[in-house]
Structure 1
Amino acid sequence: MGGISSHSAAERCAHRMGLYGCPLLLLLLIGASVCWGECPCSDPALCQPIQDTRDFEVYVFHVCGENWKFYDWAHVTTVALFADYEPELLCYAHSKGARFVLTGDVSLKDMVDPDNRSAWITKKVNLAKMQYMDGINLDIEETVLRDTPEYYALTALVKETTEAFHREIPGSQVTFDVAWSPKHVTSRCYNYTAIADLCDFLFVMSYDEPPQIWTECIAGANAPFNQTITGYEEFINIGIDPKKLVMGVPWYGYDRTCLELTEDNKCVLQKMPCQDAEFSDDEDCQVGYSSIMKQVNSSLSGRLWDDFQKAPFYNYKDPNGKIHQVWYDDPESISLKVAYIKTLGLRGVGMWHGDLLDYSDDPIAQQQTADMWKVLLP
């Protein structure tokens, strides 16, 4: 779902955890046991779908491991699963009144055929029912041009998926991930107003945004403040109800190797990546917040602040003597954006992703993690 927006980090994490090493037969057997077995929760009531909707949405993507045990469950409303299915997580989420939803990605080329589309939706609904889940997050980030078969198929997919889930699972939730702006980011020319109307809400991936200064090839913020807020205004200006928008914030940053570091802390980069619209979405350069916190205090510069982009960064030297610059988001930068949730009347907030913090018993890490959860509440 999100450069980390393609959620490919989930796959890398899953591979490390051995989540994709099971033979197909084993996966089928697991699915069968869920389908034919009893409710996996000690209290059968916890297998009932969540039907209540809270006033403020806190949307969490779970990618791997057992960090979910340490989430701020007092405020979490939805957990979207980008990892292997965990019955224990299902029971725990439901015990806290939080929805536990599937994630779905599919080739739009296949969805042009109504029969293929119907079959895919039926499969997802059945899987959700087998696993006692509460809906689906559609994370489809394909290039789509206006007035193409894929353009209309995508809108139909959202409509039919929402109708099927709402019909088959009372109170279920269908959400759709969108880039930080509706202005055809990376040629995603979707029918945003229709999609927003047809599903429960949009999760706006306000990260992996392009450089604000195209005249210079320099490192910059992952989610610069002014550009991020402008994106929400653009969604609202095309007629989307603010209550259909959840603000996504990044719990990761980008580590860039500098060709040169100027006296005013500009990290000069190679020309070629800066000419690419996907410049900021480089998986090899992505680094999670917990790793950043372990490095920043011992870096060459310590934490620095850019008041134009309203984001922190720092410089460090690698073992080969090369200078790097790391841009990221922390409680200060996130709080500035989250304050606009009330101003704009948005539905809530979420992050990519919930497992990028340090949930260890180290007192400093515990405080850093608590601060990141706390800042999500405007």
Structure 2
Amino acid sequence: MRIHVARNGDSLWQIAQNYGSAVNQIVLLNELDNPDVLVVGQTLVIPEPGLEHVIQPGDTLWQIAQMLEVTVQELTAANNITDPSLIYAGQMLKNPYFTHIVRAGEYIWLIAQQYGASPEQIIAANDIEPPGLIFPGQTLRIPATAKPVTEVNAYTTRVDEQGVPDVLRVGRYLTYLSPFMYSITEDGSLTILSEEPVLQAAKANNVAPLLVVTNFTQSEFNSDLAAAVLRNTEAQEQLISELLEVMRAKGYAGVNFNFEYVYPEDRENYNQFLRRVVARLHPEGFLVSTALAPKETAGQEGLLYEAHDYQAHGEIADFVALMTYEWGWAGGEPWAIAPVNKVRDILDYAVTVMPRDKILMGVPLYGRDWEIPWTEGTIASTVSPKEAVQLAAVNGVAIQYDETYQSPFFRYTDETGQEHEVWFEDARSMQAKYDAVKEYGLRGVSYWALGTPFPQNWPVLQDNFNIRKY
């Protein structure tokens, strides 16, 4: 897969020719509603012929396997496909092999060294009889280079039937699904959530669901509500008992605590509560995880940060999701949602106090549109990355890219004369984030949130990692 940034005068036909790809493959992979209109600065993900195939309407796995000269079993294993019926037009499938034409003087060990494979892998992939003789002009299948294995969590706020297509379509890229949300009450009871539709969709793709518990009530995170439970051991025991009951009944694999704006004086109460949870849940095989505010230092001040003890959570929980997004938040000034330089500041601190293999880096799947000049009290609208590109196209403006933040943005003037500034994510910005995951050796990523169209993310993710299934 390649990433192409559209330039002035580009046409889709020319781009396809330059990469040896097919126009319809590019159109489907990028979900281009109007292929004749490209925006300067727009990114396109380009599948590599022979190595990647974008599913066409009417394709079956058997047909695709025949075309790529592999078995259906090899194709499904290489692409995390649990149910062969759950494939969708526009998804990219990777060929588990590529070809090599043997040249005079080559032998299997040398070819294996060239591609980072083992001689045994090449011998097995080509049914070569011992002692492994090959000849010039012979076509060999070479196993694709192994990619780093990562875990992927995705929150979803659409937990009813509306959210099912999202989960079914991207489920093969996910390790965990976190339906948002159950809230606590002062006595430790849980509110009711009817999330069975997305749980069934997760199960169909072998995705492990995590039960999200928050102190959210009446449209905000409530510090007093968290305090009521964290300062009352009886309420905590009630909460843990209800958690276990719901998790057993609905098939959850674990829990994710997202307590925000916790009073600083409840920092150790929160830690002790998590220890109680682990003591009750681990014997039954359940995972315990938390979501933490983005901190650059242990002593970072502010109600959002002070009660989130990175070192303790790293010791107690199975993993943590760092909420490394919302620098450009709806009520604030225009800015990149997750500027990579700021994300790295958080990671630089986090890896000093918690194991790297317990950290999921938060990644946004959305953008924002602000009215400018910005004034206090105005709220930006949320846009999907796909909608952001469409906004640029409709308004005839080029997309720019901030190299420091590794994020695309643009400005436009609407029909009323109001100026706007839009920050969002594209293939380049996601690649920068996945590079950080690999550089820091993290456990994986945690998306907020499914439901906003971002077709380019999934092939970029797939190009960088193999996704672990729980």
TM-score > 0.5 by shorter chain: yes
Bigger relative CO (Cα 8 Å, ≥ 6 apart): 1
- Determine whether 1:377 maps to 2:465: yes
Which residue of structure 2 lines up, in the alignment, with residue 250 of structure 1?
Answer: 364
Residue 155 (str. 1) matches residue 243 (str. 2): no
In the alignment, what sits opposite 1:192?
310
Is it true that 1:61 corresponds to 2:180 in the alignment? no
Q: Which residue of 2 aligns with 1:241?
A: 355
SS class of match (1:74): helix
Q: How many Å apart are 1:308 and its aligned residue?
A: 2.2
Deviations 1:72-104 (A, max 9, x none): 333311001116544343344234332112110
Residue matched to 1:227: 342
2:256 to 134, 137, 158: 137
TM-score by length of 2: 0.56
2:443 matched residue in structure 1: 347
Decide which of 94, 99, 102 is 2:211's aligned counterpart: 102
Taking structure 1 as reference, are residues 61 and 230 closer, same or farther at Cα in structure 2, changes over 3 Å only? Answer: same
SS at match of 2:398: coil
Identity over aligned pairs, percent: 19
- For the pair shown, the structure with the greater C-alpha radius of gyration is 2
SS of residue matched to 2:171: coil
What is the alpha-carbon distance in structure 1 between the residues aligned to residue 386 and residue 460 of structure 2? 11
Contact between 2:227 and 2:262, CA under 8 Å: does it hold in 1?
Answer: no
Give 1:334's aligned residue: 430
Secondary structure of 2:383 counterpart: strand
Cα 1:196/1:122, change in 2 over 3 Å:
same
Distance 1:80 1:132, change over 3 A: same
Asked if the contact 2:149/2:465 (under 8 Å) is kept, the reply is: no
- How many Å apart are 1:347 and its aligned residue? 0.2
The verdict on how the C-alpha distance between 1:185 and 1:352 changes in structure 2, with shifts beyond 3 A counting, is farther
Equivalent-residue separation in structure 2 for 1:375 and 1:144 (angstroms):
42
Relative to structure 1, the CA distance from residue 143 to residue 320 in structure 2 (aligned partners, 3 Å threshold; closer, same or farther) is farther
**Structure 2: distance between partners of 1:283 and 1:67:** 29
What SS does the corresponding residue of 1:71 show, helix, strand or coil?
A: helix
Distance (whole Å) between structure 2 residues aligned to residue 309 and residue 375 of structure 1? 22
For residue 219 of structure 1, report the CA deviation from its aligned partner: 2.6
Aligned pairs for 1:65-144 within 5 A:
65=162, 66-82=164-180, 84-106=193-215, 107-110=225-228, 111-144=230-263
Q: How many residues get paired?
A: 288
Q: What CA distance in whole angstroms lies between the structure 2 residues aligned with 1:73 and 1:352?
A: 15
CA shift for structure 1 position 193: 0.6
Measured in 2, the distance between the counterparts of 1:218 and 1:246 equals 27
- Report the residue type matching 2:465 in the other structure: L
In 2, the alpha carbon distance for the partners of 1:372 and 1:141 equals 31
Matches within 5 A, 1:352-363: 352-357=448-453
Q: 1:85 to 1:73 in 2, by over 3 A?
A: same
For the 8 Å contact 1:313–1:325, the answer to whether it is kept is: yes
Q: Which runs of 5+ in 2 are unaligned?
A: 1-147, 182-192, 216-224
Q: CA deviation at 1:350?
A: 2.1
Helix, strand or coil at the partner of 1:229: helix
In the alignment, the residues of structure 1 paired with residue 459 and residue 174 of structure 2 have an alpha-carbon distance, to the nearest angstrom, of 15
Cα distance change on mapping 1:286 and 1:77 into 2, 3 Å: same
Q: Is the Cα contact below 8 Å between 2:295 and 2:349 reproduced in 1?
A: yes
CA offset digits 1:134-178 (Å, max 9, x no partner):
111111111432xx2x1122112222222222223x2x2221111
Letter in 2 for 1:377: F
Cα distance in 1 for residues equivalent to 2:398 and 2:262: 39
Distance 1:305 1:210 in 2: 15
Residues 199-348 of structure 1: matches in 2 within 5 Å? Answer: 199-209=317-327, 219-237=334-352, 239-259=353-373, 269-270=374-375, 272=376, 284-348=380-444
How far does the alpha carbon of each residue in 1:344-364 deviate from its partner, in whole angstroms, 9 at most, with x for none? Answer: 110011210122116xxxxxx
The one-letter amino acid of 1:154's match is Y
Structure 2 contact 179–195 (Cα < 8 Å) conserved: no
Structure 1 stretches lacking a partner, 5+ long = 1-53, 212-216, 260-268, 274-281, 359-366
Change over 3 Å in CA distance of 1:210–1:297 after alignment to 2: closer
How far, CA to CA, are the matches of 1:98 and 1:254 in structure 2?
A: 29
Is 1:177 paired with 2:291?
yes
Q: CA deviation at 1:301?
A: 2.0
CA distance in 1, matches of 2:169, 2:322: 21
| In structure 1, C-alpha distance between the alignment counterparts of 2:344 and 2:435, rounded to whole Å | 10
Change (3 A) 1:124 1:153: same
Instruction: Report the alpha carbon displacement of residue 67 of structure 1 after superposing the two structures with TM.
Output: 2.9
